[in-house]
Structures are given as C-alpha cells and as structure tokens.
Amino acid sequence: MKIRDALLAGVRGLWLTLYGLVMSVLLFTLSVVSIAFVTLGIGLFTTPLVLGAVRAYANQHRGLAHEWAGVRIPAPYQPLPAPRSGVVGQVERCVTLLKDKATWRDLQWLLVNMTAGTILAILPACLLLYAIWGPVVALGVWKPIVRADGTWWFTFVPVSDQFTANLAAATGIGYGVLGLLVNRMLLRGYFLLAKPLLRPTRERELALRVDRLTETRHEAVDSSAAELRRIERDLHDGAQARLVAMGMSLGTIEALIEKDPAQAKKLLAAARADSAEALTELRDLVRGIHPPVLAERGLGDAVRALALRMPLAVEADVELAGRATEPVESAAYFAISEVLTNAAKHSGADRVWLDVHHAQGTLRVAVTDNGRGGADPAAGTGLLGVERRLAPFDGVLAVSSPPGGPTMVTMEIPCALTP
C-alpha cells in the first residue's frame, strides 16, 4: 500500500506540475491584462469571465487538496450579485469581483503555484524517475554521453566510468527509497503551501461564521417547531386516544358493575390492555425524545444498542474515552439513527459498518454499507435533516455514494470529551 501511495503521489505531482504551471501562467497573464483593460472598458466584460475561471481553478485545487491530501480549504468568496442584463449588470459584477479580497489572494496564489508550488509538486515524480534513470545509466547509457561531453553529472555524482555509473545507479535507487517515504508528505506540503492564500482570512471567517449561525438558528427553530408538532401529533393519535377510550370504558364498567359483572370484567380487562399499550407508546415517545440509555450510559452504549436493534447486520466499532455534552450526544445519536435507518430502507445493503471515535477535538462518525449506492443529500429530506441537525454544532456531513456502491456517510462534530 505504501508503494502504491508513493507512486500515486508521484503521478499526481507530475500532473499538478504540468497542468498547474500551464494554467497558473495562463490565468495570471489573462487576469493582469484583463484588469489593465478595465480602464478602457474592454476589461469590464472580460474580467468577470477570467476571474470566474480563476475561481473555478482555485476551487478545483481545494477539492483536490481534500481528496488527495486530506487538507480542508474552505472557499472564501463573497456572494456575487444577482445576474442583471446590460452594461450595468456587467459593471456591478466586475466591481464586486475586484472588491473581493479573495480575488487578489487567488492571484497571489497563482504566482506561488507557478514557482514554489511547481518545484514542490514535481519532487515526488523526480524521486521516482531518478530511481529508474540511475540503473539505466549504469547499464551503458553513460558511455555515449561521456564520449560526447566528457564527465556527466547525475545530480551530485560525476559519471566518467563504470564505477561512477554504478554509484549513480545506487544514488537513483536511494532517491526511489526516499520517494517511497516522503512522496505523500511532499504532496500534502504542496497543498499546505497553497492553503494560507486559498482559505478565508480571519475577517472573512468571522463573516462566514455569522452567516452560518444565522442560517442554523433559523433551521434550529424550524426543527424544534417540527419536533413539537410531531410530539403533539403522536400524543394526540396514540396515547391520548387510548386514554380517552379507557375513560369511556371505565364509565361503562361503572354502569355495568352491578347489572352485568361478567361484561364489566371483560371491559376491565380491555381497559387494562389499553393502559399497557398507552404506557408503551408513551415510553416509545420519550425514547424518541431522549433515549434513556443515552442519558444513563452515554453515546457509546446507546449507539451499540441502536446497532443491535437494526434489521440488518451492523458491525459497530466505538472508541470514546469519555462523554460529550448532552446536546452533542443527542445530535450525534439521532444523526446516526437516521443514517442507519436510511441504509436499512433504501440502500439494499445486508451489512453496515459503523465507526465512532474521537480524535483531535472532533467526534468522527463513519457509516458504510455494501448497498447499491446513489445516495444524494439533495434528493431527499433524510440526509438534509442530518445535516441540519449537525449544523448548530459546526458539524459537517460528507456523502460518498457512487452508483453501484458502496455508500459512506461521514459526520464530524467539534467537541470535547469529559471522563
């Protein structure tokens, strides 16, 4: 696996070098020329197009940073105005782009990417290529080169005869071994180099945080109202109806207890059954609000109990060294419950793997099934509800579900655990 990862990092680094150098030079040049032409009027029409391409390229790198190196880089851009036709709309869009600090940070990143970024990206490929080129040189390729130009340098090894050629081969193999050890770190370093310029500034982070809190506050209010309506409906249609029926039965029993004791006895037995069912429904309702096992024993045991109640096989791996706050545990529990229920109902899977652990101040949950795939948060309310449930705690939801499966739902909630 380490060899495969190192080779993959080399290929990706080579692609980032060639594609990144061409795109960075091209987009930076077009941006500078287009912005310079704003004063002539032409740039008002070309700048939004060019800067839109710059943003698309930067967003592509943000996606690759997370996919290839696990580096999260949020997009920092301010919202663009609603599209308007005519010259006025074009001018408004151009001015908004030029006033956004993220635009100028993107241009700075293009400069870094075409210089230091290119050097860092090509290193993984060079280390692996030297591992091949060194032995090839030792097989005799060095002879015509030395005859033509005299002493030839293989990095820091002067090649002039077979012995020095063998040293070059050993050096190349050493580079290859080094590549196996550091290629993934070099690729990650490439994206870490870009992160300070591609991520939001502190000021922008605060603005995004305020917007997110405003949005999640409205969602939390809507969710609370919906939950209260659900509880009211369940009480009205379930326990309340049974209690009303019990009251009517007791009234009838009171009238019949002297005239027809046998019939009164039957009605009393039915009322007792109704009371038991009403109590069961009330317990289920309370469990839906806050499961007793969650309050008494914490998220770990509650999740294990939930896994045992599922209609399909769930392999749970839970490692928690303490307990989170009650709201976080409740949100995590019901989010896991919703994802497992979706897997049981819609995925066609017969096995689910549940992993829950806490590391670096974050509660991480991964739910993977072997179903048909194709899950899309935008296509239904289930996963959207999970996302809304996690949002008040700055939690994030990620879904990977290619057609044919498998489906992997990942949830992360920043929190601390107490023993």
What is the C-alpha separation between 305 and 316, in angstroms, rounded? 10
Q: Is the pLDDT of residue 254 over 90?
A: no
Confidence of residue 232 (pLDDT cuts 50, 70, 90): low
What pLDDT digit, counting tens, does each position of 152-175 carry?
788 888 888 888 888 988 998 998
H-helix segments, 347-380: none
Confidence of residue 58 (pLDDT cuts 50, 70, 90): very high
What is the pLDDT at residue 49?
A: 92
Confidence of residue 390 (pLDDT cuts 50, 70, 90): confident
pLDDT over 90 for what percent of the chain?
23
What pLDDT digit, counting tens, does each position of 301-360 carry?
888 888 888 888 888 898 888 888 888 888 888 888 888 888 888 888 888 999 999 988
What is the C-alpha separation between 180 and 7, in angstroms, rounded? 8
Beta-carbon count within 10 A of 260 CB: 13
Sheet holding 351-359, edge to edge: 313-319, 351-359, 362-369, 407-414, 396-400
What is the pLDDT at residue 62?
A: 92
What is the C-alpha separation between 235 and 215, in angstroms, rounded? 30
Q: Is the pLDDT of residue 222 over 70?
A: no
- Cα 397–401–402 angle (5° rounding)? 150
Sign of CA dihedral 299, 304, 309, 313: positive
Q: DSSP 3-state assignment of 408?
A: strand
Range picked from 114-118, 240-244, 252-256, 311-315 for highest mean pLDDT: 114-118
Confidence of residue 240 (pLDDT cuts 50, 70, 90): low
Tell me if the pTM is above 0.75: no
What is the pLDDT at residue 1?
A: 57
* Number of residues assigned to the chain: 419
141-155, 175-189, 267-281: the lowest-pLDDT one = 267-281
What is the pLDDT at residue 163?
A: 87
More confident residue, 263 or 119: 119
What is the C-alpha separation between 76 and 201, in angstroms, rounded? 7
Q: Would you call 16 exposed, middle or buried from its count of C-beta atoms within 10 A (0-12, 13-18, 19+)?
A: buried
What is the pLDDT at residue 16?
A: 92
What is the C-alpha separation between 240 and 248, in angstroms, rounded? 13
What pLDDT digit, counting tens, does each position of 25-45 carry?
999 999 999 999 988 888 888
Place of tokens 């635009």: 103
